[in-house]
C-alpha cells in the first residue's frame, strides 16, 4: 500500500514537505527571538502582533526556498510572485483559522482541531502555490477549458487530459493488479489509460468512436504491447480468452450496460477479472452528466441489477465495489450540481492532479460516498 501511495508523489511534493518542515522551525525560531523583547509579552494585542511578525518573517524566508528548491524556478517574476505567494499564504491562514474554529464548535478537542486544520492548510497551500503561483508557463498560456463532446465520447474528462499525469496513474493503479497476459480495454478514448497499462502488460484497445479508433491506431502504431485496436467489443467472438477486461468511465454511457457486462464475462477465462471504474452517486447527477452522455451515475442498486443479470449465466465473485475520491464528490456537487458548470476546466483537473498524492490514502478507507466507484468481478 505504501509503495503505491508514494509512487504518486513527484519531486516537488517531497521538496514541499521538506521545505515546509524547515519553514516551521524558522517560524518557531523567529517567534522565540521576538518574544525575548518585553513589549511583545505585555498583552493580548502585543502577543498577537509578535506572532504576526514572526509569521511574516518566516513567509519572507519561505518564498525563495519554495521558488528555488520546491518548484525549481529561476529569478523571473520574483516580486510579482512574492506578492502572489503572500496573498495565498494569508488566505491559507484564514482558512486554517476557520477550519479550526469550526471543528472546535463541533465539539472536537484542541489537539484534533489543530491537527486537521494544519493538515488541511498544508493541502490548500500546496495547491495554491502549485496552480496559481509557480504554475509552469507552458500551462498558463491558455486556459484549455475542455469538455466532453456532445456525443459523450469523453474527450475532455480528467483521464483524457494528458497533463494530469498523477491523476491518470492513480486511476490506472486501480486496474494494474488485475491485468494478465491477455487484456482488453473497453472505450479506450484517446488512449490515456492504455498508455499506462501497456507499459508492462499487453492490451487490446476498443472504442466505438471512429475518430478515437483512428487516433488510437496512429498513437499506438509503434507500441508493441498494444496488440489489437478495434471498435465494437460485441464483434469479438472468442470465448474464455482474456485475463482481464476493464473500462474507465465508460459503462455509464451505455444504456444496456449489462449486455456489455455479460458479453465481457463470456470473453473472460475462468479466474479472469472484469474491472469498471464508474461515476457514483445518483444525487450528483447534473446537467453536465446529461450533456456528456451519462445514462446514470452508479449506486448499490446498480450492483444488484448487475447481479440479477449475471446470475443465470455466470458464476462470479465480487472483489471490490468501493466508493473512492470523496474530495472529487464534494467538488462535483458544488461545481456541477449547484453552480451548473458546463465543462470540466483544465485548471480544475490540474488542481485535482496536485491533490492526489496527499489524498490517495483515503481509498483504503471504507468510504460511504465518493465521486466514483471501483467495481471488480472475478469469473469463477
Residue 28 lies in a domain: yes
| Pairing relationship of beta strands 203-206 and 226-230 according to DSSP bridges | parallel
SS3 state of residue 178: coil
The total of other beta-carbon atoms located within 10 Å of residue 356's CB is 23
Of 110, 140, 170, the position where a domain reaches its end is 140
Handedness of CA 31, 33, 34, 39 (dihedral sign): positive
* CATH code of the domain covering residue 273: 3.40.50.150
The answer to whether the beta carbons of residues 148 and 157 sit under 8 Å apart is yes
Q: Spell out the per-residue pLDDT of the chain, length 380, in tens.
A: 778 888 899 999 999 999 999 999 999 999 999 999 999 988 888 888 998 899 899 999 999 999 999 999 999 999 999 999 999 999 999 999 999 999 999 999 988 998 898 889 999 999 999 999 997 654 543 333 333 343 443 454 544 467 789 999 999 999 999 999 999 999 999 999 999 999 999 999 999 999 999 999 999 999 999 999 999 999 999 999 999 999 999 999 999 999 999 999 999 999 999 999 999 999 999 999 999 899 999 999 999 999 999 999 999 999 999 999 999 999 999 999 999 988 888 888 889 999 999 999 999 899 999 999 999 999 99
Domain span at 127? 2-140
Instruction: Extract the C-alpha cell encoding 307.
Output: 447481479
Within this chain, do residues 285 and 188 fall inside the same structural domain, yes or no? yes
115 and 183 in a single domain? The answer is: no
Is residue 227 located within the same domain as residue 114? no
User: Looking at residue 74, what DSSP letter applies?
Assistant: -
Domain boundary among 75, 106, 140: 140
| Residues 112 and 256 both lie in one domain | no
CB atoms within 10 A of CB 13: 19
226 plus 124 within the same structural domain: no
Claim to verify: residue 250 and residue 351 sit in the same structural domain: yes
* Strand, helix or coil for residue 319: strand
In a domain, 149, yes or no: no
- Of 140, 169, 201, the one marking the end of a domain is 140
Tally of structural domains, the chain: 2
Instruction: Give a yes or no: residue 258 inside a domain.
Output: yes
Residue 188 lies in a domain: yes
Residue with cell 490515456: 192
pTM: 0.85
Amino acid at each position: 500500500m505504501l509503495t503505491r501511495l508514494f509512487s504518486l508523489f513527484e519531486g516537488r511534493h517531497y521538496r514541499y514537505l521538506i521545505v515546509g518542515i524547515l519553514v516551521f522551525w524558522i517560524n518557531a525560531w523567529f517567534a522565540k527571538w521576538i518574544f525575548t523583547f518585553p513589549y511583545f509579552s505585555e498583552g493580548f494585542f502585543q502577543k498577537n502582533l509578535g506572532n504576526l511578525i514572526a509569521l511574516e518573517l518566516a513567509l519572507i524566508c519561505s518564498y525563495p526556498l519554495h521558488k528555488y528548491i520546491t518548484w525549481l524556478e529561476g529569478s523571473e517574476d520574483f516580486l510579482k510572485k512574492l506578492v502572489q505567494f503572500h496573498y495565498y499564504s494569508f488566505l491559507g491562514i484564514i482558512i486554517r483559522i476557520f477550519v479550526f474554529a469550526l471543528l472546535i464548535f463541533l465539539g472536537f478537542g484542541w489537539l484534533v482541531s489543530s491537527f486537521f486544520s494544519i493538515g488541511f492548510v498544508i493541502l490548500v497551500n500546496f495547491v495554491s502555490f502549485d496552480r496559481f503561483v509557480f504554475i509552469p508557463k507552458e500551462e498558463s498560456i491558455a486556459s484549455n477549458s475542455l469538455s466532453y463532446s456532445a456525443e459523450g465520447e469523453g474527450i475532455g474528462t480528467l483521464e483524457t487530459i494528458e497533463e494530469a499525469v498523477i491523476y491518470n496513474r492513480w486511476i490506472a493503479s486501480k486496474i494494474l493488479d488485475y491485468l494478465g497476459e491477455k487484456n482488453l480495454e473497453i472505450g479506450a478514448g484517446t488512449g490515456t489509460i492504455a498508455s499506462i497499462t501497456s507499459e508492462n502488460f499487453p492490451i487490446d484497445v476498443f472504442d466505438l468512436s471512429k475518430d478515437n479508433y483512428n487516433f488510437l491506431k496512429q498513437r499506438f502504431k509503434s507500441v508493441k504491447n498494444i496488440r489489437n485496436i478495434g471498435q465494437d467489443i460485441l464483434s469479438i467472438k472468442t470465448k474464455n480468452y482474456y485475463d482481464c477486461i476493464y473500462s474507465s468511465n465508460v459503462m455509464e454511457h451505455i444504456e444496456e450496460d449489462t449486455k456489455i457486462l455479460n458479453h465481457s464475462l463470456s470473453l473472460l477465462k475462468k479466474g479472469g477479472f472484469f474491472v469498471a471504474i464508474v461515476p457514483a452517486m445518483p444525487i450528483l447527477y447534473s446537467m453536465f452528466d446529461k450533456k456528456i452522455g451519462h445514462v446514470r451515475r452508479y449506486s448499490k442498486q446498480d450492483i444488484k441489477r448487475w447481479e440479477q443479470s449475471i446470475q443465470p449465466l455466470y458464476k462470479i465473485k465480487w472483489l471490490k465495489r468501493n466508493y473512492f475520491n470523496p474530495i472529487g464528490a464534494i467538488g462535483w456537487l458544488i461545481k456541477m450540481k449547484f453552480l451548473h458548470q458546463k465543462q470540466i476546466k483544465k485548471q480544475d483537473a490540474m488542481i485535482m492532479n496536485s491533490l492526489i498524492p496527499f489524498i490517495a490514502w483515503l481509498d483504503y478507507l471504507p468510504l460511504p460516498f465518493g465521486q466514483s466507484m471501483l467495481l471488480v468481478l472475478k469469473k469463477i
